[in-house]
Amino acid sequence: MIDSQHGRRVFALQVAGLPYRYHSHPPPSSSNLDSTVATGINYTDLEAITSVGSFSASIDPSGGIAQYGAVSVSLGIDSRRGGLDDPGIVFGRCGARSASTRGRLSSSASRTTVTFNLSTDLTSLTYPRLLHIGAETVRAASATTTTVTVTRGVGGTPQQSHSTGLEGSQIPELTTEITTFRGRRAKLYMAHRYPSGETSDYTEVINGFIESSPTVEDGREITLSLMPLTALIDTDLSDKGIAQTRLLQDYHYYDGLNGSVLEYALGLEKIIDEALVVEPDTSGTITAYTFDGIVSDRQNGANFFDDFDV
């Protein structure tokens, strides 16, 4: 936190599932931030942040939901000496074909599947490692010629279902690099650098997502536009006539470390027919990624499905 008028602000940027963490100065490796992106896989810290844009927010004095603007983060590019972790290489990829290695799923995978069936042999890669599919990043522990064993949703990414369909024209692919950044989760942290050289703990100032595709300026910088998660509720929420949508007091807040914290849940009860009812399963924790729902037979109490993403 900033508690002195002397010194300067320093920043660190974490993109969900990305093993590279970009900062201004000094590296946050020995700070209060996580040192690993997944079990056994450390972050690589790289000094690259050249500027951070202003943060803007407003709220109607008479009450209402706060409106938040995007924050731009510019990263320096070293086109001559930059390695695979250089922002120009990482964020310059466009589409799955830009990945160095790809592996096609041979069958659909639910959001809880821990062994992916593949039509591509990935045994030549080293393990453990990160692999990416859709907006999800997984920790791959090992592979055979036809499968890969993974831990789902690592590095702050959501667990997703990945379906093959359209008679084989839609085939999800595992890639060794992230190839699409628009809509991907990202966090910007800020700390105070004292004249003595010491750095305070980092505080999360943006908890959100990359609003648009990264833009390259003059071949020297690449700029990301970060939008807080709270922007997702800046507009009216729809009510389909079966429930109410509303913000709750003390559930949209800043807790001293994490910014833009939004806790929400969905409660509904709709009669499907005379015997069936849909209701939330409150026996477990409802998070921003998962919501447990139960379709129950009023007569027999049978459950018909488990869970889905919200």
| 3-state helix/strand/coil string of 79-105 | CCCCCCCCHHHHCCCCCHHHCCCEEEE
Query: What pLDDT shows up at residue 279?
Result: 61
- The pLDDT value recorded for residue 41 is 96
Calpha distance 8→192 (Å, rounded): 6
Which neighbouring-strand residues pair with 115? 149
Please tell me which residue, 230 or 89, carries the higher pLDDT value. Answer: 89
- Of 109, 101, 151, the residue nearest 128 (C-alpha): 151
pTM: 0.74
CA dist 200 → 13, 26, 32, 223 (Å) = 16, 11, 9, 26
Query: What are the structural domain ranges in the chain?
Result: 8-91+182-233, 96-175, 265-309
- pLDDT reading at 256 higher than 60: no
Across the range 188-217, mean pLDDT stands at 89
The CATH architecture assigned to 8-91+182-233 reads Roll (2.30)
- Per-residue pLDDT tens over the stretch 18-42: 999 999 988 898 889 999 999 999 9
